[in-house]
Structures are given as C-alpha cells and as structure tokens.
Amino acid sequence: MRLLIIGQLNGQIGAATKIAIDRGAKVAHATTIEQGLAELRDGRGADLLMVDVAMPIALLAAQLRAERIHVPIVACGIGTDASAAVDAIKGGAKEYIPLPPDAVLIAAVLAAVADESHQMVFEDKAMENVIALAEQVARSEASILITGESGTGKEVVARHVHRKSNRADKQFISINCAAIPDNLLESELFGHEKGAFTGAVARRIGKFEEADGGTLLLDEISEMDVRLQAKLLRVLQERIVDRVGGSKPVRVNIRIIATSNRDLNQAVRDGTFREDLLYRLNVVNLKIPPLRERPADILALANHFARKYADANGVAMRPISEAAKLTLMSHTWRGNVRELENTVHRAVLLSQGSEISEASIRLPDGSKVGDEVAITTPTAIARAAQAAEAVNREMVGRTVADVERDLILQTLDHCLGNRTHAANILGISIRTLRNKLKQYADEGVRVPMPGGGEMRAY
C-alpha cells in the first residue's frame, strides 16, 4: 500500500501517518495540493491520498478527474468539525477519518482500499472451490503453490490469501522471477552489501527482508535458475538470508507463496527445477482453472471490467447487450482473464450506443470475436488443407534449426517483441528463449525488440 499524505505533518496527522506506517503502508508526503499532483504526475504513484480537510479537496478531486488520475481520497481532520467533514465528502473524498486517529479505523480504511485494487470477482462453482480452499489455509504458515495458465488470476488469489492471513497487516511483496535476468534476480531477492559487485554503491535490502513479517510472492518461480533455487531452498528451511557480499546471515519471518504457469513435476523430470524445492513450496496447491472451464465467471468479470474501464476513461457506464454476452460466452479465451479484460476495455472505448454491442467485441487486430472459428465451410476447409500442404512443401530440404529459428522469430514478431508472451505460446521457458535470441543476434539475425522495433545485437 502506497500512501501519499497531503498537508502539514504535525500534530494528529503525524500520528495518523505513524499508524499507517506501522500497518505496512509506504508513506510519501507533500505539503500542498500542487506538490501532491506533481508526485502523481512523475509516476511515483499512490494507492491512497490522505488529505488534510483544510485543503481544497474539491479542487484536488476535480484536477484528478481532469488528468485521469484514479486515486481514492480520504480526508482527515478534527472530529468535531462536522461541516468540514461533509464538505470533504461532497468534494470527492471517499472517507473521513476524525482526529485524533484511531488505529483500527485507519487499518480498516487501508484494507478497504487494498480490496478495491485487487477484487476477487467470481461466480463459478469451480472458482468458488479454489477460493474456499485458499481461505481455509490462509491463516496457516504453510507455503502455497498457485498453478494455472497465464492470465487466470494467480496473483489476485495470492493477494487474497494474504488479506485473509494472520499477516494481513504486514507487507505483501511480489517479484516476477521471469522478468528479471538471473544475474540481477539474486540481488533483488537477497539484497547486497556496498561493494559486493561493480555498481553496488550502497547496501540494498532484498525482497526477503523487505517482506519480513509479511508475505513474499515469487511469481513464475519455474523461470528461476537452478543455482538460485538452491539458495532459496536454504531460506525456506532456515529462514535466514545471505546478502550478496554479506558477512553474516539475516533472519527473516516470512510466508512464501509461489506461482507457476508450467507443470513443475515435468520441470523436475527435465532437470530444470529442484524436486526438494517443489516439496517445500507445494505444501498446499491451489490450481486455478482456465476461464473456459468456469463459464459463469465470464459475464461476472465482463460486467466488472465494463464498470472499471468506464470509470477509468471517463465515459458513461453502458450495460452489455444480450448479443454481446452471447459473443463473450462463445469465445475460448485462450488468454484467460487478461484477454477478457483487454477485450472489454476495448469494447468500452468502441461502443457508441446505449449498450456495449456485439460489434464492439473485437480482437486486437480489429476482427470480431468468433470470426476466427466461424468459417467451417467445405471451401474454407479445402483452402486450409491446400495452405498446409504448401507449408509442408516449403519446409522440405530445410534444417530443423532453420525452421525453429523462423518459428521463434515469427512468434516474437507476432507478440511485438514481448519475450514472456512468446515463450508461453512456444511452450518453452523464457530463459531458453533468451538464449536462442542471443544466439541468433550473434549470428547477425535481426531480432524483434519489445514494441515491434528491431536491433541487430541482442
């Protein structure tokens, strides 16, 4: 939770700030409305604004709306000033916290904002069973492994477990093991001492220490290098961390949740994942079914995203038409909840009538959802067979390495250079993909970069 205080940090507001910090919030401070807006504009961000009721809250709320900055406001002031509290709510504040501050009230407000940011939206029985198991084990200290296809909502479930745990008032720290190169991931996880390596100009606390007392989410742990897996195993067993370049271990008290979109049992058989680490992580397994296996969630999520993105884009909330609902229900959603979210966001922007129409439910390339499977006429089937035969003839005489290279580069180009998406489509680890791309670049092949650009050296 990132909290931005706007106002003078003295007296009771200072006391409220200390309570928020004790509850795990990361607090920044601005003395004026303009300074607060500058913080938000510069990308430093906040999940909640706590504003002195004496500040022009209505002006702040109007400026946030004008700039499409969506951060809830909580006003705080002397409890006896009822008229100021009413004006603050009318001006755009979601809550009013009377001062002197009450620790329970501040904790409740922080928890409510956190719940809004990562809502659990589900209606399907299959997902209900997963959440029931998650809540059953949340208050334990057991490590949890959350598995499921990419985009099914593994991190949302992890945050839900944290909120229902005995550590809910402490930090929830997440790190994506697939997004950070191996030579940097060790420092990110375990921290380092000044001078531990070139560029280590000061001591840095790693994610394990940052999450002390709370929960650490290791997202896509299957992409972690085997050498780091051994060091992680020691942390899980001993609950101590060795900083890179450190002289003595640091004890930590954390709960580990890990996620993977791959079959870790197969990774163990392939020798890319340690079996003893899998046993340590997989005390409880929460397997999230893909969206196509929980059809009741499709419309529930679609309605949620329609409201969310209508608010985010400052457009009128439109209900989803019956025809559009049928279209949404008929799609396979290979990208799961993430694909559905993007599709509904696009539909909110494209819709012009009183409803979100079937015509606005489109794929990223502009084609209508369903068009990719709608044509099954004999003529279409014959054309597809001819195309397949032509592809087969084209591959005759080529080496396996050449075919593999073209497939990898074409897939990467299709994903606009996004390594993680391309690796998921190809069914290989992101580490394998990076190694292949480095090899191609060394051979002088142009490799697509993120965003669709190209460069010769990888």
User: How distant, in Å, are the alpha carbons of 13, 89, 96, 98 from that of 82?
Assistant: 17, 11, 10, 9
Is the peptide bond between 100 and the residue preceding it cis, with omega within 30 degrees of 0? yes
Pick the CATH number of 125-287 from 3.40.50.300, 3.40.50.150, 3.40.50.80, 1.10.10.10: 3.40.50.300
Query: Which architecture, in CATH terms, is 379-455?
Result: Orthogonal Bundle (1.10)
| Topology annotation, domain 292-373 | Helicase, Ruva Protein; domain 3 (1.10.8)
User: How distant, in Å, are the alpha carbons of 19, 95, 146, 363 from that of 210?
Assistant: 18, 29, 22, 40
Q: What is the DSSP string of 219-287?
A: ETGGGS-HHHHHHHHHHHHH-EE--BT-SS-EE---EEEEEESS-HHHHHHHTSS-HHHHHHHTTEEEE
**Positive or negative CA dihedral for 150, 153, 159, 160?**
negative
Dig out the tokens for 65 from the structure.
């709306």
Q: Which residue has the tokens 């559905």?
A: 340
Closest C-alpha among 287, 214, 278, 200 to residue 245: 200
User: How distant, in Å, are the alpha carbons of 122, 124, 160, 166, 324 from that of 296?
Assistant: 8, 5, 20, 31, 15
pLDDT value, residue 458: 40
Q: Which residue has the tokens 């949302």?
A: 156
Mean pLDDT, 10 residues at a time, the chain of 458 residues: 79 74 78 87 74 89 78 81 82 83 72 61 93 95 95 93 92 86 83 76 78 93 91 90 84 94 92 94 95 94 91 86 93 92 92 91 79 51 58 68 87 78 81 88 82 46
What does the CA dihedral 425, 426, 429, 430 come to, rounded to 10 degrees? -70
Q: Please tell me whether residue 10 adopts helix, strand or coil conformation.
A: coil
| Topology annotation, domain 2-116 | Rossmann fold (3.40.50)
Give ∠ CA 224-151-446 in degrees, rounded to 5.
Answer: 65
Separation of alpha carbons 351 and 319, rounded Å: 10
Q: What is the CA radius of gyration of the chain?
A: 25
Domain locations along the chain: 2-116, 125-287, 292-373, 379-455
194 neighbors 202 (Cβ within 8 angstroms): yes
Same fold, 292-373 and 379-455: no
